Amino acid sequence: MAHAMENFCTISEEYDIDGEVGFALPNPLENLPDVYNDWMFIAKHLPDLIESGELRERVEKLDMLSIDHLRDHKSQRLAHLVLGCITMAYVWDQGCGDVRKVLPKNIAVPYCQLSKKLQLPPILVYADCVLANWKKKDPNKPLTYENMDVLFSFRHTDCSKGFFLVSLLVEIEAASAIKEIPTIFKAMRMQELDTLRKALLKIACCLEKALQVFHQIHEHVDPQVFFNVLRIYLSGWKGNPQLSEGLMYDGFWKDAKQFSGGSAGQSSIFQCFDVLLGIPQRASGGSAAQFLQDMRMYMPPAHRNFLCSLESKPSVREFVLLKGDADLREAYDACVKALVNLRNYHLQIVTKYILIPASQKSKDKTSQEPSEQGNKGTGGTDLMNFLKTVRTTTQKSLLKEG
């Protein structure tokens, strides 16, 4: 019997997955209703306000606004992005160690109310800064780096455009593979091995193209600027010694709350292919498995529901093993190898953009950042151990060694 996963239109409608941009928000709004002009002004002028030292004062003088005028999903997502950027800027300010531990109620209350409505945490998440923080310069031209821009950034020279847009373009390239999921489940049900093989090879091809897009990061993001500037504003208050108790959301919760900063672990796309291919990331136990599970709560609810639904469907891996077809096994392994290659490359990027700058910074005795924090991801993980664990679990899922 056919199920919803065999029809992409059904997948798209039920799980908010777009045919062109996948898990990204298609054509995000660029402005909120006029009642929120003060929020928009601060978010659009963060670089100047931070540099002049006026940011915190402007935030503290904001009126308390109701979220009732945010009536549709896109306006709510834009407001979550706006309030997330303002919150990160307020907490970290100029990034010199002067950290605020209490978010004023005039911003904390609407932010937490909106987050509850969207079922997202009140912190800048990947779904905000990458998936909803973009626009086309010319709506009639394609989705390329040259024809795109971000809606918000923190500093004038923070490489945020490069980091956010390259991350988004990797997402979009990999998202093409989602369209093959209906073909895969239908082919398994109909026992059409050649159709399944071709669909798996298409997924492998999409993931290989995503890796090529990932290479653009070297062109658009400077390692020192990323590490010493942008990374600060993406850092959360979970596993972070600078906010060991978390952040107090004044007027909403009585106690401080801990939330992870935005990270690639919050991307649905790669967890999606782990689930589809039966790569047991979450069954491997340990901190990496727990972190991936925790990160699902930082995804839009429709996307985490998609992952749960995918987990309940017939196993592609078991089907391939059961059939014992050499060509089918080779196509399956092509997908796994493509994921391994992406994760190997991610490890190289982390070495260049985090570990090497962290090592250089630790030699600077005037650094106010705890040295152990330099080796952590923005999500609060022990970054290299986490990525190596995920990569090794992926590698072990190859049906053929070598």
Annotated binding site for heme b: 346
Structure token pair of residue 62: 């904001």
How distant, in Å, are the alpha carbons of 98, 154, 238 from that of 360? 22, 23, 25
Structure token pair of residue 294: 């925790």
The one-letter amino acid code at 115 reads S
Q: How far apart are CA 81 and CA 44, in angstroms?
A: 11
The one-letter amino acid code at 321 reads L
Q: How far apart are CA 316 and CA 359, in angstroms?
A: 43
Binding residues: 346
The one-letter amino acid code at 121 reads P
Q: Give the relative orientation of helices 301-311 and 268-277 as an angle to the nearest 10 degrees.
A: 10
Q: How far apart are CA 95 and CA 231, in angstroms?
A: 10
Could you tell me if 235 and 261 are in contact, meaning their C-beta atoms sit under 8 angstroms apart?
yes
How many Cβ atoms are within 10 Å of 329's Cβ, its own excluded? 18
Structure token pair of residue 288: 């990496």
> Which 3-state string (H, E, C) describes 92-160?
HCCCCCCCCCEECHHHHHHHHHHHHHHCCCCCCCHHHHCCCCCEECCCCCCCCHHHEECCCCCCCCCCH
Which residues fall within 8 angstroms of residue 358, CB to CB, at 6 or more apart? Answer: 227, 371, 374, 375
